[in-house]
Amino acid sequence: MGGKIKIGINGGLKRNRKPEKKVDTNKRSRKKNRVSEAKVARSPSPSISGDSSEEVLPSGNVVHEPARVYKEPSMYENLLMTLGSGNDTFANVYRRRQREEEGRSDTEDEDEGSESPIVSGDEDDSEEGPDNESNWDPSTRTDLQEPTQATVLQSDDAESEHEDEPFDTDQEDGIDGNGQRRHSVDISLMSISSFNIHLGHVFKQAEADDLAKQKQKFKWEVPAVDIPMSKWIGTGECFLKDNNESSDCGLKLKLYKHWLDLYNSSGGNDFHSSRQRHFFSLCNSYRDILYCNKRPFYLKGLGEDSSIMDGYIMHALNHEFKTRDLVTKNEAKLAKLRENNKEESLNGEEFLDHGFTRPKVLILLPLASIAFRVIKRLIQLTPLSHKVTVEHMDRFSDEFGTEEVNDNDDKNDLPNNALIKGSSKSQKSSKPSDFQLLFGGNNNDNFMIGIKFTRRSIKLYSDFYSSDIIVASPMGIVKKIEQAEYDKEKDVDYLSSIEVLIIDHADVISMQNWSHVNSVVEKLNHIPSKQHGTDVMRIRQWYLNGHARLYRQTILLSSYLNPDMNSLFNSQCLNYQGKVKLVTEYKGVLPKVLLQVRQIYQRFDSTSLTDADDDRLDYFAKKVFPKIKDSVQGGTMIFISSYFEFVRVRNFLKSQNSSFCLLGEYTKQSDISRARVWFFEGMRKIMLYTERAHFYHRYKIRGIKNLIIYSIPERKEFYPEVINMLEESEDMSCTVLFSRLDQLRVMLHLVYSIILCLVVF
């Protein structure tokens, strides 16, 4: 083919002559000149500064080589240096990157350490790419070779036979909505995808620091469609008004068609105006979402809850499938470049598509029965071609669906062995219907399961490091975190690359232990302690820079809002795209009080959150308790929202030698039965009853003549439910203590106009 054509600085072309077998003193200078013109490195590497040199071309032109200036190593190079300190493989990678920046080949390092002349052959053999590794066999380097599909997906040894096959890329690979092949449209589609826009943005360190420190302000508001007395507020630019109902919502074509078919088969007639479609579009904006007016399935039926669940499940599937498609397409491109010996293009930024670990979606749920419902629907929403087999369905049904769950979800799309086991006869219960629906299934709150997708199968119970989606309870992850703290061989690095966090039924989780949620969120998006087989040359730059938390989308769903949820959303959700929050005016629950009972609302002053508990107890001790102590009549129940307040009041009553009994969430069953009998028969004048105990047991307490709500319950349905337990008598009354810091609960439970009339200052 002859010598290579070289472009000089002056724009002229010069065909290089093949040198004879002799020392080529200008070889290194020409190579450095070409490397400086090529786009090879994705981040600067440190180089040794020195004097500028000149090269005289055969045409007589003088080429000046610019002086090389020392640059600080990037975080990526610091990572390579750290890994290389204990691993020769990464040390070699770091040295190769230095040579790449300086335009040297592997053999040239040997030249510098030798005084004898090197006899060179054909120059073409030494200029295949910036790494100049024509003799380097990737197959002999299992840790750094360009990974196959199996290694990219970080699979274990027992993978499905379809693991090596790429995902269907449908629309993004050039198939239009009518199923026809398009040409030359891949780039344009990739450029407008919210997935690629969100993950493709790269921050400078100063910008990231400012974003983490600044407090985002809500700048716009839009009425919420189909949600009465509600509006959406958000930071940044408003995007809800530009919703295009004729589009495919940003979904992959195969996902969109399958979802549309399921919607139509269930009786739907206007998918683009449906609630699930609107909520998916909201999720697809990749903004943090706080939706705290969701009607749960156990209170208002399945309609709204199932629509919201469909929306976030489709968002999770879309995110995972697009992630896998991006990886497989880049694998194909890299393989083609290697075949064409274009090694200089292998380090381009377009091939940065990895996180530290594989899991990208984390779904936190309170109970195993709810997880069973969500995963079952996830399987239904997965296209048929991707679930030819669903592995470990028997085990999943046994561990998560061991009891009858009364819901109307479509089961026709599940494998035969996925049916819920248990008695078909429903047992009558004195508990409210919402209690039976919520706790009628598997009530385990300590679970964790990995879900992996291949081209034709879904694998349940996959290893967490090879999973795409992790579904867990907060307690389940906290147990893993505690194990990792005691056992150094274990870790939770699979939480390092979570890009979508979904917390559903946060109201139920708040009745368990909200501190577990805070512990889990604090563990997300940390730089891992180990490598875990990841190809470090493919990790996105913002992961290496420690900015992953700025890219994580958090979706928080609940039936009500409390200060803990607000705090998490305001302080731990730092998505650079911004935030969206649903604001609702509540009707209150006073009309649900069936008895003609006098309700007295007593306000006490409290100046700060730190003093609120002390101020409440002080007001109770001075203004409320003396009336109880002097009364001969018993039957006084004190309803307390927080367990910590329960302990404080208990200790106070002990100090006053009061006649009381306890019914809390940690009270033994035998003690509960004894306390209920004592209270009903008048052997104890006072009963302390906590909200969590009522949530988990829904006891019908008999013998209540005077009710004191020491702290307003978080769950608004409990307020009328507890008041309606009062026995009808002439002297029955209800006293409610609150301060200005209880504004959120007051507005959630009560009608404001009634509050103004009844408050006793």
* Residues 151-162 pLDDT 10s: 333 434 444 444
Q: Would 573 be classed as within a structural domain?
A: yes
Lowest mean per-residue pLDDT among 158-167, 229-238, 347-356, 733-742? 158-167
* Euclidean distance between CA atoms 725 and 593, whole angstroms: 10
Q: What is the mean pLDDT of the chain?
A: 76
* Euclidean distance between CA atoms 107 and 545, whole angstroms: 32
Confidence (pLDDT) at 720: 92
What's this model's pTM, rounded to 2 decimal places? 0.74
| pLDDT exceeds 90 at position 462 | yes
Q: Are 638 and 686 in contact (CB under 8 A)?
A: yes
Between 422 and 459, residue with greater pLDDT: 459
Between 125 and 635, residue with greater pLDDT: 635
Between 187 and 337, residue with greater pLDDT: 337
Tens digit of each residue's pLDDT (9 = 90 or more) over 285-343: 999 999 998 989 998 767 888 999 999 999 999 999 999 999 999 888 888 888 887 66
Q: Are residues 652 and 531 in the same domain?
A: no
Q: Are residues 272 and 390 in the same domain?
A: yes
Q: Is the dihedral of CA 471, 277, 405, 411 positive or negative?
A: negative
* Euclidean distance between CA atoms 133 and 107, whole angstroms: 9
Confidence (pLDDT) at 129: 35
- Domain boundary at 542, 567, 584, which? 584
* Euclidean distance between CA atoms 483 and 9, whole angstroms: 62
| pLDDT exceeds 80 at position 84 | no
Residue 202 pLDDT class (50, 70, 90 cuts): confident
Number of CB atoms found within 10 A of residue 143's CB: 13
- Domain boundary at 561, 584, 607, which? 584
Q: Are 315 and 500 in contact (CB under 8 A)?
A: yes
Confidence (pLDDT) at 227: 85
| pLDDT exceeds 90 at position 621 | yes
Cite the beta strand spans of 206-245 per DSSP E. Answer: 220-223, 230-234
Q: Are residues 445 and 529 in the same domain?
A: yes
- Domain boundary at 584, 613, 631, which? 584
Task: Give the residue numbers spanning the domain of 441.
Answer: 205-238+265-336+352-402+434-584
* Euclidean distance between CA atoms 682 and 680, whole angstroms: 6
Mean pLDDT of 603-623: 92
Q: What angle do CA 88, 93, 94 make, to 5 degrees?
A: 95
* Euclidean distance between CA atoms 528 and 354, whole angstroms: 14
Q: Is the dihedral of CA 276, 278, 284, 290 positive or negative?
A: negative
Residue 408 pLDDT class (50, 70, 90 cuts): very low
Residue 76 pLDDT class (50, 70, 90 cuts): low
Q: Which residues contact 488 (CB under 8 A, 6 or more apart)?
A: none
Q: Are residues 531 and 615 in the same domain?
A: no
Nearest alpha carbon to residue 356 among 577, 512, 548, 522:
548
Residue 435 pLDDT class (50, 70, 90 cuts): very high
* SS3 state at 378: helix
Confidence (pLDDT) at 299: 86
Q: Would 124 be classed as within a structural domain?
A: no
Q: Are residues 610 and 570 in the same domain?
A: no
Q: Would 677 be classed as within a structural domain?
A: yes
Confidence (pLDDT) at 47: 40
Place of tokens 């919420």: 224
Long-range contact set of residues 624-628: C-beta below 8 Å, sequence gap at least 24: 624/708, 624/735, 624/737, 625/652, 625/656, 628/685, 628/686, 628/706, 628/708
Please tell me what DSSP assigns to residue 592: G
Number of CB atoms found within 10 A of residue 164's CB: 16
Bridge partners, 582 (sequence order):
232
CATH value at residue 209: 3.40.50.300
Between 585 and 369, residue with greater pLDDT: 369
Between 664 and 532, residue with greater pLDDT: 664
| pLDDT exceeds 60 at position 667 | yes
pLDDT exceeding 70 applies to what percent of the chain?
67
| pLDDT exceeds 70 at position 94 | no
Place of tokens 């609150």: 738
Q: Are residues 474 and 372 in the same domain?
A: yes
Mean pLDDT of 472-491: 94
CA distances from 244 to 239, 249, 604, 606 (A): 11, 8, 51, 49
